[in-house]
Amino acid sequence: MVDAEWSAFTDDTDTYVTVSGGILYNDMLATAVVTYKHEGDSFNIYSFDIDGAAKDYELYADLIIAVFEDDLISIVKDGVIYGYNEPFGEALMSLYDELEWEAFMYDDGNIYVRIDCYYEYEGEDFHDILVFLIDAVNEEFGFDTYLEDGDEMTLDDFMELVELLYS
């Protein structure tokens, strides 16, 4: 977003923050306005429009991910698991042949990073999936899902994987 401007306002009960600025939309410069409502400990999206026309949440999510995907992925890739010193991305590369990283925003409003991990064992191809919940404000990540070749694994299974990665 270029030339972004921030403003805040309060009605009788709630506080809102609005960000407006220029974005590239349909190959043209447009004005985007995002309003966030204070709820609990965070601000959640309240409305989103481009050039005055209301847009859906999916477009907003796509915009956020397009702008910040590399930063969101680096929270996991360059981050460390508590008790270990090596960046998690480097540890993964020690076990897997190929990694594909993707950040996405789910319908619950949370941002996640998914890692598709590919490896070959005894001539057979395997595909594991790791998903982490991202706390972009504090630049932290937490375990969400671990699928080992299609089978859902537990947190304990994930911790066994972590021990294997760092052994």
Q: How far apart are the first and last CA of the chain?
A: 43
C-alpha closest to that of 78 among 118, 128, 113, 44:
113
pTM over 0.85: no
What 3-state class would DSSP assign to 149? coil
CB atoms within 10 A of CB 137: 8
**pLDDT score for 1:** 65
Query: pLDDT of 41-87, one tens digit each?
Result: 777 778 888 888 888 777 777 777 777 788 999 999 999 998 899 99
- As a whole number of angstroms, the longest Cα–Cα distance in the chain is 66
Q: Which long-range contacts (CB under 8 A, 24 or more apart) does 156-165 make?
A: 158/130, 162/81, 162/84, 162/91, 164/95, 165/91, 165/92, 165/94, 165/95
DSSP code for 14: -
List the pLDDT tens digit at each of the 167 positions of the chain. 677 788 898 988 889 888 888 877 777 888 888 888 888 777 777 888 888 888 877 777 777 777 778 899 999 999 999 889 999 999 999 999 999 999 988 877 788 999 999 999 999 999 999 999 998 878 899 999 999 988 999 999 999 999 999 98
Residue 123's region, left for phi above 0, alpha for psi from -120 to 50, else beta, is left
